[in-house]
Amino acid sequence: MEKMVIEGGYPLNGKVKVNGAKNAALPIMAACLLINGTTKLRGIPELTDVKTLCKILNELGVDTKKCEDGSLDITVKDERNITAPYDLVRTMRASICVLGPLLGKRGMAKVSIPGGCSIGSRPIDIHIKGIESLGAEVVMEDGYVIATGKMKGSEIYLGGPYGSTVLGTCNIIMAAVLAEGRTIIENAACEPEVQDLAHFLNKAGANIAGIGESNLIVDGVDRLNGIEYEIIPDRIEAGTIMIAGAITGGNIVLENDASCYLASVIDKLREAGVGIKITDADKNTPGHVQSSECFVKRDGNIKPVNITTLPYPGMPTDMQAQFSALLSIANGTSIITERVFPHRFMHVAELNRMGANIMNEDAIAIIKGVPKLSGTTVMASDLRASASLIIAGLAAKGITEIRRLYHIDRGYERLEDRLKNLGAKIWREKE
């Protein structure tokens, strides 16, 4: 086991390139189950979740090859196996995204009910409702979702108590692209990662309309063919690095930063007193509208702000923990309301151990800013919570040790090396 060690108090300065988006990469990799021939994916980050999905795809008869240029070649070799086993699926919730493409291409799927981060209830009932609407017969047996049937176009309403589901939308899209007839998905998730999946499938020969809107129209096609495709940059990684620069009072430049997907994050950072300048956008490729560079600088104190997480284009729930760390040193009181995963506040106790003053009740956190944080030993509870502890450690006085690093490695590629290149005093040690 390893731990992260941070000596706080050093401002971040310099340039950093944002990696490809984990939450776009995983569904697109799963979508390769639908494709005839080889697909070359560029921008796939080096993450444990990506490695896990590669192992699942290998179990399903898919060859995954990492190329010298960093791209990933994916080729379906054998379509006989339809089982995604428990030992692999249990470690990563996004594994459920193989359900839709297995049904769409092979007519059968047996997928273990997934595990994942401890951020509250995340049921898969909407996934099941969607594939049943397309004609699947579904049973739950021995911890597996077992689905069979020929997919036929249908009208499907997706939604839950806190909005639509990203993975659920992705699964239904993938189940529908080879279906007979037209599928209309109402209240579809509009997140950039869903859009990226749809653009990828269209380039491979699918017929999906309404991309980026709440109603998607999918007209089934006979086949999809292998293509080359580049994943969009990771907006959550970009936002995390922005906040890391802001909390340390640094001056950083993000390349390939996807600012066009971060309007809500940038708005709140500016409200908090962080200077952000964005260069002209590159609009050459549909679905890949990116800012070439984003400049982040803070000179004065952090100002308090109120935040409510919402589905896209609102404030991402995946940025809530990072903002909690930043606002813990604000000059005043901030309120965060979590409307996506109401119990996603396990990082609060650990931030309070570092000297923060955060009160959490139900879906609300009240953050009274303190002059400084202090380094101590803390425990990561999930992916974004671990990022918030790193952010806090960068600003804290003294040494911070963060344990359970497997969480951070699920979603950030060698984050400590990239922060070190910006001037952070951060390293890994054996526990």
Residue 177, C-beta contacts closer than 8 angstroms, at least 6 positions apart: 34, 104, 201, 206, 207, 208, 218, 220, 221, 224
Q: What is the mean pLDDT of residues 398-425?
A: 95
CATH code at 49? 3.65.10.10
* Burial bucket for residue 376 (CB in 10 Å: 0-12, 13-18, 19+): middle
pLDDT at residue 53 above 70?
Answer: yes
Q: What pLDDT, on the 0 to 100 scale, is given for residue 117?
A: 46
* Domain end residue (candidates: 186, 211, 230): 230
Q: What is the average pLDDT score of the chain? A: 93
Residues 277, 170 within the same domain: no
Share of the chain above pLDDT 70, in %: 94
Residue 257 has pLDDT above 50, yes or no: yes
pLDDT digits (tens, 9 = 90+) for 100-139: 999 999 999 999 987 544 444 456 888 999 999 999 999 9
Check whether residue 47 and residue 145 sit in a common domain.
yes
Verify that 215 and 306 share a domain, yes or no.
Answer: no
Of 181, 205, 230, which residue constitutes the final position of a domain? 230
The reply to whether 219 and 250 lie within a common domain is no
Same domain, 255 and 188: no
Q: Do residues 51 and 173 both lie within one domain?
A: yes
Average pLDDT (296-317) is 95
Q: Are residues 109 and 61 in the same domain?
A: yes
Contact 145, 124 (CB under 8 A): yes
* pLDDT surpasses 70 at 161: no
Just list the catalytic residues.
117
**What is the band of 159 on the pLDDT scale with cuts at 50, 70, 90?**
confident
Where does the pLDDT of residue 281 fall: very low under 50, low under 70, confident under 90, or very high at 90 and above? low
Q: Into how many domains does the chain fold?
A: 2
Q: Which of 179, 195, 230 is the last residue of a domain?
A: 230
Q: What is the pLDDT of residues 354-390, one digit of tens each?
A: 999 999 999 999 999 999 999 999 999 999 999 999 9
What single-letter DSSP state applies at residue 423?
T
Residues 363 and 286 in one domain: yes
Side-chain half-sphere of 56: how many Cα atoms within 13 Å?
37
For residue 125, the model assigns a pLDDT of 86
Considering the domain architecture, whether residues 222 and 156 belong to the same structural domain is answered as: yes
Residue 89 has pLDDT above 60, yes or no: yes
* The token pair that represents 102 in the structure block: 């297995």
- Whether residues 251 and 397 fall in one domain: yes
Q: Are residues 135 and 264 in the same domain?
A: no
pTM over 0.85: yes
Query: Do residues 164 and 242 share a domain?
Result: no
For residue 352, what are the β-bridge partners? none
Q: Does the pLDDT value for residue 76 go beyond 50?
A: yes
Residue 336 belongs to domain spanning: 2-19+233-430
